[in-house]
Amino acid sequence: MKNIAILGSTGSIGRNALDVIRSLGTDYSATALTSNSNWEMLAQQVEEYHPKRVAIVDGEGGRRLKERLSGNSVQILTGEESIEEIVADANINFVLSAIVGAAALPATLTAIEHKKNLALANKEALVMAGGIVTERARKKGVTLLPVDSEHSAIFQSLSAGRRSELRRVILTASGGAFRDYPVDKLDKVTPEQALDHPTWKMGKKITIDSATLMNKALEIIEAKWLFGLKAEEIDVVIHHQSIIHSMVEFQDGSVIAQMGLPDMKLPIQYALTYPERRPASVEPLDLAKLGKLTFAKPDLQRFPALRLGFWAVNDSGTLPAVMNAANEVAVDAFLERRLKFTGIVRAVEEVMHKHTNKKNPSLEDIMSADSWARKEVRNAIR
């Protein structure tokens, strides 16, 4: 029996994961669920999936959840450390981390410390502290399984050859909501426009990141740590249809691609059932119906965030944590209409230039850089 803790069960990935677990049958169990503050949806999930334990960070949300579920046998944990307590539970043998942003890092490290194999839908933990996360996972014998569609595709495609035979990986990007929008009008776009993704249905933060292509900048850093890559071994291509989720090129020129319709259930299920494959409740790919697939080089004038991703990969240290933290604050400001769309990447770049990078950082150094970057962006926006 695989007893799974879903961290961030009320988000898009978490909800899809619950659907996958239900379809997989009785040898997979959503044993524990967590949410930051969405107590209403968490209550619905308790009533539908019957987990043994749940955690909610928000205190008021916890109070309301307990009122709603009075008489239910589920154990309810609340507060800042409740998610880590869930992860440390001896009854949990697999963790799916779908928490958005830097908040996932403590739970990620706790899962590794307790030797829980870990499916990562959260990219920020690796962006911030990839060296620390991967080294601790290696020492504890913990398998890190990517859930991002791009990194799952790379993970699957790498099985076609040896790591020593790799030439490069090619991350595909849809281009988001503004891939064909006039560049000189980007500073006027609204949050509603940015949230209208042409191919994927995702949460607000990742959808905005897709529109700026900051998601790809973060994925460049994530790929470095997951697969032990150098910056020159990572490339990005715009692929509007989101059918090829990423590719691997080997030394002989062979390119192996993982393909499928844009449905997160597929990479989620692969991570949960790895190394096996099972029938999935997803629509099969009909290439004849698609007709054609298109590719283009990314326009760095439209998508300047890509430069920041490669800069952060090359310099490493605390710089990736600064980039991630600044972006989280800037995206929130845009969604609250306090910052223009084009101001998101500008704000991130300005803070990165101000930062004094620290190589080979400790966890304390990383968290300090994260906190510093958030303050800098808030002050600049103010």
Residue 173: pLDDT over 90: yes
- When pLDDT is cut at 50, 70 and 90, the band that residue 15 belongs to is very high
Delimit the domains of the chain by residue range: 2-146, 151-262+287-315
pLDDT of residue 295: 97
At residue 200, the pLDDT reads 72
Query: pTM surpassing 0.85?
Result: yes
Q: Average pLDDT in the 332-353 region?
A: 97
Cα distances (Å, whole numbers) of residue 357 to 125, 175, 314, 315, 368? 18, 30, 12, 8, 12
Task: Report d(CA 213, CA 178) in Å as an integer.
Answer: 10
Regarding predicted confidence, which is higher, 151 or 201? 151
Cis? peptide before 275, omega within 30° of 0? yes
| Closest CA relative to residue 125, chosen from 149, 98, 152 | 98
Go through the chain and tell me how many residues it has. Answer: 382
Mean local confidence (pLDDT), 239-258: 97
What mean pLDDT do residues 101-109 have? 91
pLDDT per residue as tens digits for the range 260-280:
999 999 999 999 999 999 999
Domain 2-146 indexed as CATH 3.40.50.720: yes
User: Rounded distance, CA 281 to CA 220, Å?
Assistant: 30
pLDDT in tens, 129-154: 999 999 999 999 999 999 999 999 99
Whole-number pLDDT of residue 101: 84
Do the beta carbons of residue 320 and residue 370 sit within 8 Å?
no
Q: What percent of the chain has pLDDT over 90?
A: 91
Residue with tokens 């963790």: 95
